[in-house]
């Protein structure tokens, strides 16, 4: 077996820093407003929802509004405060 070498990786040569994404902002706002529903996506299919908002901290609801050509898929999410 090869010997394990423990060391921190060097910094990225391109100077990469974690970017604050729209999902980070959404999560922060949901946490600031516990138990309130937010409409976060329209015309979104269930399978396209971000897995970040699954689990016991967040509740998601999908609604189909309208019929035929005017049908819309809406995704609502809320942070559940215990």
What does the pLDDT read at residue 57?
92
- Above 60 in pLDDT, residue 16? no
More confident site: 17 or 69: 69
Contacts for 34 with CB less than 8 Å, ≥ 6 apart: 78, 79, 80, 81
Chain segment 32-81, per-residue pLDDT in tens: 999 999 998 887 665 455 677 888 899 998 888 888 888 888 889 999 98
More confident site: 12 or 72: 72
Alpha helix locations (H) across 1-82?
A: 22-32
What does the pLDDT read at residue 29?
92
User: HSE of 11 in the Cβ direction (CA atoms, 13 Å)?
Assistant: 6
């Amino acid at each position: 077996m090869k010997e394990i070498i423990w060391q921190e990786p060097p910094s990225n040569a391109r100077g990469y820093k974690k970017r604050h994404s729209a999902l980070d902002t959404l999560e922060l706002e949901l946490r600031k407003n516990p138990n309130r529903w937010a409409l976060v996506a329209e015309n979104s299919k269930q399978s396209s929802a971000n897995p970040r908002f699954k689990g016991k901290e967040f509740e998601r609801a999908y609604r189909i509004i309208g019929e035929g050509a005017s049908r819309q898929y809406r995704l609502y999410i809320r942070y559940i405060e215990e």
